[in-house]
């Protein structure tokens, strides 16, 4: 049998603190997947696409959870909506898109990003610092010789009417959720 929920306005300081801790714990989970997305998103490996989509799906669930923890009932979402009114439209679009993608992912099937291969100058591709024993060799080019270009997989999301870098959108979504948790923690009245 399910426990009946207490009204959020009747929670004591310890219960509120526990909710904040639980929300931050889920946010740390989202940040773990964000770090994986950032690594996979800057990889030159073509087989990282399925891994990227798996971590993206996990990020969608984890980044939504903190707000669901802090808003257990429909009436509790008022403070979120009020706080979002004062934010830029892009922030509202990002949270709305991530909410919709998460709901689609849970109820209808995998929600993914768009993927494309971009040709970029080789020097733009992040790579680890070479060590003395790593075997990297610097091959100088003749002056005026164009830099070689390599294919890099990029992932995008449609936010509003614009395609944006998926990893940057995930990063911004996590920042917004973190700011909302901070705001909720500072509120006197719940």
DSSP assignment string, 20-88: HHHHHHHHHHHHHHHHHHHHHHT---GGGHHHHHHHHHHHHHHHHHHHHHH--SGGGGHHHHHHHHTS-
pTM of the model: 0.79
Span 19-76, pLDDT tens digits: 999 999 999 999 999 999 998 887 666 567 888 889 999 999 999 999 999 988 887 8
**For the chain, domain boundaries:** 12-124+148-186
């Amino acid at each position: 049998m399910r426990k009946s929920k207490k009204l959020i306005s009747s929670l004591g300081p310890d219960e509120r603190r526990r909710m904040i801790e639980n929300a931050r714990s889920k946010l740390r989970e989202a940040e773990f997947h964000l770090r994986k997305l950032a690594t996979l998103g800057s990889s030159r490996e073509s087989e990282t696409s399925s891994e990227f989509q798996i971590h993206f799906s996990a990020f969608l669930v984890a980044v939504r959870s903190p707000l669901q923890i802090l808003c257990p009932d429909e009436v509790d979402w008022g403070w979120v909506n009020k706080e979002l009114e004062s934010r830029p439209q892009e922030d509202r679009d990002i949270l709305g898109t991530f909410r919709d993608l998460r709901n689609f992912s849970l109820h209808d099937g995998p929600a993914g990003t768009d993927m494309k291969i971009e040709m970029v100058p080789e020097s733009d591709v992040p790579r680890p610092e070479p060590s003395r024993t790593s075997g990297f060799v610097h091959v100088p080019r003749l002056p005026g010789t164009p830099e070689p270009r390599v294919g890099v997989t990029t992932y995008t999301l449609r936010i509003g009417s614009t395609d944006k870098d998926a990893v940057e959108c995930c990063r911004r979504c996590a920042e917004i959720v973190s700011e909302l948790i901070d705001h909720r923690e500072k509120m006197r009245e719940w």
